[in-house]
């Protein structure tokens, strides 16, 4: 039918760039645009996006605004933290972990409204385009994907602004020029990239930070906080039970106030180049050592070592956008299996950038004072056993050394 329009679900923030995309979809594709705006804890109101979408001609029934904060923390952030996940030794994956949820919700909406395509505003050089699109395809294999930044002909910021002006898209003053850096944010973290950060030899300026005060500005007195865990997930702070999003919000505040969670990193993108980012993960940077702390007394050593060896691979899958892949799910099954007894409380000291475990307690503890004491006495351990243990562990080394001697003769 001639009048059948292409229907596209756009991940819409309400900001300038995705508003341009919205209009571009309408003009270039003559598309019926469905906007999806998620509250993932980015710290901005989402309701204004509704008005902007309406202004740009989106039908009310085509505007979707969801508060996904609890789902985000419960089903994405916490499962990831069960593995003590860091990418390239340091990055807490705050951007990466939000993408699959957005993709999942976009596909759900596409099914609901009978859309033909989905669209995102990620650029063609980054990881996010991969994360969005792998998510789309894994959930809806025949969906059409529109990636404006890879498709359109705009070659500069000026051309984009021109297009916006011609199409009556409101432009706030600070958006007219080139932004000195770009930001992504959600309840787990904020990231800053680009322009002023492009020389990795130069210290990141203080003003790029969004979520934390600097350690220097933080109070001179430490804050002590106790985090309760059940089966690997945090469930309470200082004895107060909190929902996942509420808990992370509170940890964020604590981290913010104590200058915790800044990371200045040059990382390897999936698409092949190195980039430099400044990440702030205040709550996550408390949660990571706290989780390790509760694991340290409740998790078996063999289990821990297996997890630790697989973590970099799990982190890479998330970073590269393979959340909805069989191998990520297999690793998750392995990780989740390990967390059955990771229950108890950890006391943390927060002080000027440091988040330090100072105590851990659990009814599930595997730590046994009797075993480690210098005095003999525990029935479970006979020091003489160590002789045999060492002898058999040494056996193959001795045989190899005997070979060396024999061959040297």
**Active site annotation includes 99:** yes
Q: Does 301 bind a copy of itself (CB under 8 A)?
A: yes
Helix (H) or strand (E) holding 151: helix 148-151
Q: Which of 17, 149, 167, 230 binds a copy of itself (CB under 8 A)?
A: 149
Q: Does 231 bind a copy of itself (CB under 8 A)?
A: no
The 3-state DSSP composition of the chain as helix, strand, coil percent (nearest 5) reads 45, 20, 35
Q: Which of 13, 19, 84, 190 binds a copy of itself (CB under 8 A)?
A: 84
Task: Confirm or deny that 123 is annotated as ligand binding.
Answer: yes
In the shown chain, the binding pattern of residues 1 to 30 toward a copy of itself, with x for contact by CB under 8 A and - for none, equals ------------------------------
CA-to-CA dists, residue 339 to 1, 74, 296, 301, 304, angstroms = 55, 15, 12, 13, 10
Task: Say which of 74, 75, 116, 182 is annotated catalytic.
Answer: 182
Distance CA 121, CA 239 (A): 41
Q: Does 200 bind a copy of itself (CB under 8 A)?
A: yes
Cβ-count burial of 321 within 10 angstroms (0-12 exposed, 13-18 middle, 19+ buried)?
A: buried
Stretch that binds a copy of itself, among 96-104, 149-157, 161-169, 246-254 (CB under 8 A): 149-157
State which of positions 313-342 bind a copy of itself (CB under 8 A): 313, 316, 321-322, 324-327, 329-331, 333-338, 341
Nearer to a copy of itself, 165 or 308 (CB): 308
**Active site annotation includes 150:** no
Q: Which of 138, 208, 237, 286 binds a copy of itself (CB under 8 A)?
A: 138
* Side-by-side strand order, sheet with 190-193: 182-185, 190-193, 274-280, 262-268
**Exposure string for 13-33, b = 16+ CB within 10 A, e = fewer:** bbebbbbbbbbbbbeebebbb
Nearer to a copy of itself, 70 or 215 (CB): 215
Distance CA 401, CA 408 (A): 11
Q: What are the residue numbers of the active site?
A: 17, 99, 128, 182
Q: Output the known binding site for L-aspartate.
A: 123, 127-128
């Amino acid at each position: 039918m001639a009048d059948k329009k292409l229907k596209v679900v756009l991940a819409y923030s309400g900001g300038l760039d995705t508003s341009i995309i919205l209009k571009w979809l309408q003009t270039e594709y003559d598309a019926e645009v469905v906007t999806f705006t998620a509250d993932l804890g980015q710290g901005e109101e989402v309701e204004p996006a509704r008005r902007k979408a309406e202004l740009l001609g989106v039908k009310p029934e085509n505007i979707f605004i969801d508060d996904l904060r609890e789902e985000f923390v419960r089903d994405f952030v916490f499962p990831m933290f069960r593995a003590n996940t860091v990418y390239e030794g340091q990055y807490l994956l705050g951007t990466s972990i939000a993408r699959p949820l957005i993709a999942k919700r976009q596909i759900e909406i596409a099914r609901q409204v009978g859309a033909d395509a989905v669209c995102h505003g990620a650029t063609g050089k980054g990881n996010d385009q991969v994360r969005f699109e792998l998510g789309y395809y894994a959930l809806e294999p025949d969906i059409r994907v529109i990636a404006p930044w890879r498709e359109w002909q705009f070659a500069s910021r000026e051309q984009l602004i021109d297009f916006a002006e011609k199409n009556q898209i409101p432009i706030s003053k600070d958006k007219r020029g080139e932004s000195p850096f770009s930001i992504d944010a959600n309840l787990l973290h904020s990231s800053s990239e680009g322009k002023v950060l492009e020389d990795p030899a130069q210290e990141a300026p203080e003003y790029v930070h969004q979520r934390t005060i600097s350690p220097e500005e933080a109070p001179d007195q430490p804050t002590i906080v106790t985090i309760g865990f059940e089966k690997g997930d945090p469930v309470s702070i200082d004895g107060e039970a909190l929902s996942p999003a509420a808990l992370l919000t509170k940890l964020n505040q604590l981290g913010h106030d104590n200058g915790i969670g800044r990371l200045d990193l040059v990382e390897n993108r999936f698409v092949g180049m190195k980039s430099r980012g400044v990440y702030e993960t205040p709550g996550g940077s408390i949660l990571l050592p706290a989780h390790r702390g509760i694991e340290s007394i409740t998790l078996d050593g063999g289990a821990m070592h297996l997890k630790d060896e697989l973590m970099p691979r799990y982190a890479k899958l998330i970073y590269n956008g393979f959340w909805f892949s069989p191998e990520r799910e297999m690793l998750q099954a392995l990780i989740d299996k390990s967390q059955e007894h990771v229950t108890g409380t950890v006391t943390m000291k927060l002080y000027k950038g440091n988040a330090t475990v100072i105590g851990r307690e659990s009814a599930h503890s595997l730590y046994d004072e009797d075993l480690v004491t210098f005095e003999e006495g525990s029935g479970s351990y006979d020091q003489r056993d160590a002789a045999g243990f060492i002898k058999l562990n040494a056996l193959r080394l001795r045989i190899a050394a005997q070979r060396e001697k024999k061959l040297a003769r």
